[in-house]
Amino acid sequence: ILGFASVWFVLDEAHISNIAVLESRRRQGIGEQLLISIIKIAIERNACYINLEVRASNKIAQALYTKYDFDEVGTRYGYYSDNKEDAVLMTANNIYSSSFQDNLQRLMNVYTRRWGIIV
């Protein structure tokens, strides 16, 4: 297993609870592939928005989410039980808007040119 993702759906919300990639395989497009897949599934399931928490120290993941039109909307202080690190709350709203859809399509095209087919 190189990576995995988990997402749950409640009413009109998709909540990404985890995206993880084997440390030796990071920076190879796997996490981005997982995020694209989650976004596509959220759209197929008619979710209105997508939420997640990410460690405040995980700037690489935050940059990926920002690239895909997630906005920082808050902080959960001391959220992570292992070290009491804060979580940054991020949300992608209006996932059916033309700007979100255009950005998603553009980024999927860029991804495909760099890494190959999206599954």
User: Which residues does the annotation mark as catalytic?
Assistant: 53, 65
Which of left, alpha, beta for 94 (phi over 0: left; psi -120 to 50: alpha)?
A: left
Indicate the residue type of 113. R
Residue 58 sits at φ, ψ, to 5 deg, of -90, 75
Q: Which of 24, 18, 39 is nearest to 87 (CA)?
A: 18
Residue with tokens 């395989």: 25
